[in-house]
Structure 1
Amino acid sequence: MSGASSNLTAKMNTPAHKSVTEFVQAQTPGTKFSFDGPRGSQRSRLCRHPDDPSKQTDCVDIAMEARSLFETMQKLNFFCQLPQDPSKTHITCERIPQ
């Protein structure tokens, strides 16, 4: 195991990463997620967008910078991308079907 991968494993055990894991696992397969946070901030807002229009968007504040949240979502089998509009700063994520 490389030093980088062992550091990632250690990072995934933090309370913030556990909060992200719990939040994304409590969803249906078609649910999409988005997150955003000020550059350099140690806080991000993660939102769950249900595939059922009768359900509301649900958001949580996570004590993690956006870059770390991006890495965590990828580790949890999500494909994440920036919007095509350069004025937008949020990142959207969809679960990769297995």
Structure 2
Amino acid sequence: MPAQKPEDVLNAFVSEDPQSKYAFNSARDAPESELCREGDKLSRKCIMIHMQSTRLFQAMQDQGFFCALPMDPKRTEITCQPIPKA
């Protein structure tokens, strides 16, 4: 069975809860990133996705999310929240 395309994995994960906030983190130029659906400790869910952070940033924006670095310079994850539909 062929491996799923990273875009399909991302779409499936986000479609489970498209109104949640998401965060991702990876080492610079790493071939994969950890993507987490934010929530309390019990509802937080993370997956590893085979996308560099720049590609994942673009893919999340393409799905209607606003993504940004946190205000705290010590933190490196990028957070994404859904853009309200007008």
For the aligned pair, the TM-score class normalised by the smaller chain equals 0.7 to 0.9
Post-superposition shift, 1:67? 0.4
Alignment: residue pair count: 82
Match of 2:32 among 43, 55, 79: 43
Match of 1:25 among 12, 15, 19: 15
1:93 is the counterpart of 2:83: no
Match of 1:83 among 54, 70, 81: 70
Which 4+ runs in 1 deviate beyond 3 A? none
- For 2:41 and 2:27, locate their aligned partners in 1 and report how far apart those are by CA, in whole Å: 30
Q: Kindly report the root-mean-square deviation, in angstroms, between the aligned alpha carbons of the 2 structures.
A: 1.6
SS of the aligned residue for 2:51 comes to coil
Matched letter for residue 37 of structure 1: S
Matched letter for residue 78 of structure 1: F
Q: Which has the larger radius of gyration?
A: 1
SS of the aligned residue for 1:64 comes to coil
Identity level (%): 35
Structure 1 length as normaliser, TM-score? 0.77
